[in-house]
Structure 1
């Protein structure tokens, strides 16, 4: 594999990873309320979704999303519904916190999400996102020549995953320092409110996105 192609792909993947999107806001929601382990579970969910999209692209299955307007529409709507659902859940949580009479929530009132739930949220946020699929359909094939094997293609998926892991791991460690702030009712209300609005916004934008 041409080292120039690898470096260029990593640069493109890095820009994709660090650009503002649902992944960053999901980490920002998860870590302060549920801790580092849940944040890393989110990240492993991201990575698993990348391998799903990469596999579909490598074997040409996801080309249906480009060729079939109906297939693209179904995936787009499923992704939009999921993001909006996360947003609504966060707003409901914010509303519940606003009804608390105590200025600070007791530790027993903080209910961290399970590792399985955190992984699932990270996985579904990416596997149902047509933008990730379009990246693997448009940019990804440009870095693979026809005479290269499947392992080289998966090496690029792994490179994308490593960049993703490094970036969001740094975010997890940074956000974990403010985890204790989640015991404060006002902080939890603010965090859930912002998260809810942002995810509903992402979901709405995705629902309106056009194919091609």
Structure 2
């Protein structure tokens, strides 16, 4: 029980620490509202569970033992972030500074040119740090004397981590959506897209050069 409580504390710490997922969810919620933000959060959570499943079944060792494979995944993740950042910059400067329609209601559709769920999924699938987290964390909380149940226990712990992540990102999407009514002018939206675009491109460059 103490071990599980420690795992919950670790999950909470990871959840409240801003990362790549947080930036992508904020971008999506600002552009498409709560629904788009939640779909992005769900995509991030799905990608995280894929990493956890790979670790639980031992598949992640193939990635971790190959420097070339690890670098390929890392560079793919960096490219996704740079592309998302570039799209934000393009969105910021492609149209004149006009007023934005009242965002108080839920948008009828996701922003054109993107799929929020897939953006979240790709952001996490191409983040090898998610694999490293589960490789480092899961073995510490799987009892050594229950080897036959190692995979179910690891998957259960992974599901808990994914739920924490989705809850944290979902709350972020909800909070950003609640603030959208304060950000109605095109000038403010342009500044948001410019800042987020620069942040995402910066994160992508950092991931590529780490």
TM-score normalised by structure 2 residue count: 0.88
Alignment of 1:19-30 (within 5 A): 19-30=17-28
TM-score normalised by structure 1 residue count: 0.87
Cα-Cα RMSD: 2.1
Partner of 2:203: 202
Alignment of 1:120-135 (within 5 A): 120-135=118-133
1:59-111 deviation per Cα after TM superposition (whole angstroms, max 9, x unaligned): 111112221101101101101111111111111111114xx153x1356xx98
Partner of 1:56: 54
Partner of 1:37: 35
- Structure 1: runs of 5+ lacking an equivalent: none
Secondary structure in 1 matching 2:94: helix
Partner of 1:186: 187
Is the CA contact (8 Å cut-off) linking 1:42 and 1:120 kept in structure 2?
yes
Aligned residues: 202
Q: Which range is displaced more, 51-60 or 5-14?
A: 5-14
Alignment of 1:164-179 (within 5 A): 164-179=165-180
Alignment of 1:147-158 (within 5 A): 147=147, 148-158=149-159
Question: Are 1:113 and 2:111 matched, yes or no?
Answer: yes
Partner of 2:44: 46
Partner of 1:139: 137
In structure 2, C-alpha distance between the alignment counterparts of 1:203 and 1:122, rounded to whole Å: 15
Q: Which range is displaced more, 192-201 or 172-181?
A: 172-181
Is the CA contact (8 Å cut-off) linking 1:32 and 1:180 kept in structure 2?
no
Secondary structure in 1 matching 2:28: helix
CA spacing shift, 1:135–1:94, aligned 2, 3 Å: same
Cα offset, 1:127, TM superposition: 0.9
Is the CA contact (8 Å cut-off) linking 1:32 and 1:181 kept in structure 2?
no
Secondary structure in 2 matching 1:35: helix
In structure 2, C-alpha distance between the alignment counterparts of 1:51 and 1:207, rounded to whole Å: 23
- Structure 2: runs of 5+ lacking an equivalent: none
Is the CA contact (8 Å cut-off) linking 1:47 and 1:161 kept in structure 2?
yes
